[in-house]
Amino acid sequence: MVRLKVKLKVLKGARAGSEIETVAIANTGYGSDQLEVALPEMLARELGFLPELPQSTRVEKYLSATGFAEVHYIPEALEILVESAGRSEGPILISACISATDEVLINDRLIEELGIILERPGSGLWRFSDEPPLNLRESEEPERW
């Protein structure tokens, strides 16, 4: 599994303007038409999205491996950048969904937009798309919320 160090800047809600660093899973199984990140509830609280949700929040149904779930979807809620070994990519404007997960997940479109290539996902090896194929980077340790 590939885990990336990310910096999230809050654009909406009670803590707009604040930033937090965390680790996110590059999850190609998380498909969406939008650039999105799935946030655990505990992190959503830390970012100021809970208990009072930002005005533009809406409830949506998402299909996961365990079936349908309702999530709180906050459009254009954050900016994200990926940081690794002295290099960063971003910031990119993204939407957030608050879900029942204990790790941050970035979706397939966002992985692509950040220029992330998953070379050996089972071993946690990846690179930026403009780097040579042998310039592999290692995953970060998990951060659970």
pLDDT over threshold 70, residue 105: yes
Q: Which candidate, 83, 39, 94, 87, places its Cα nearest to that of 62?
A: 39
6-63 pLDDT, tens digit each: 999 999 999 999 999 999 999 988 888 899 999 999 999 999 999 999 999 999 888 7
Give the Cβ contact number of residue 142 at 10 Å.
11
Beta strands in 11-115, from DSSP E residues, in sequence order: 19-26, 36-40, 58-64, 67-84, 87-99, 104-106
Mean pLDDT, all residues of the chain: 94
pLDDT over threshold 80, residue 101: yes
User: What pLDDT is stored for residue 86 in this prediction?
Assistant: 86
Tokens 């970012």 label which residue? 47
Structure tokens given for 21: 């660093």
Give the Cβ contact number of residue 132 at 10 Å.
7
Q: What is the mean pLDDT of residues 116-141?
A: 96
Q: What is the pTM of this model?
A: 0.91
Q: Which candidate, 73, 46, 36, 68, places its Cα nearest to that of 58?
A: 73
Spatial separation of the C-alpha atoms in residues 18 and 128, rounded to whole Å: 27
* Domains of the chain from N-terminus onward: 3-138 (2.40.70.10)
User: What pLDDT is stored for residue 133 in this prediction?
Assistant: 93
Instruction: For residue 65, name the pLDDT band (cuts at 50, 70, 90).
Output: low
Q: What percent of the chain has pLDDT over 90?
A: 83
User: What pLDDT is stored for residue 73 in this prediction?
Assistant: 96
Q: b or e along 25-51 (b: 16 or more beta carbons within 10 Å of the residue's beta carbon)?
A: bbbeebeeeebbbbbbbebbbbbbbbe
User: What pLDDT is stored for residue 114 in this prediction?
Assistant: 97
Inter-CA distances, 38 with 79, 87, 95, 111, 130, Å: 13, 24, 9, 13, 26
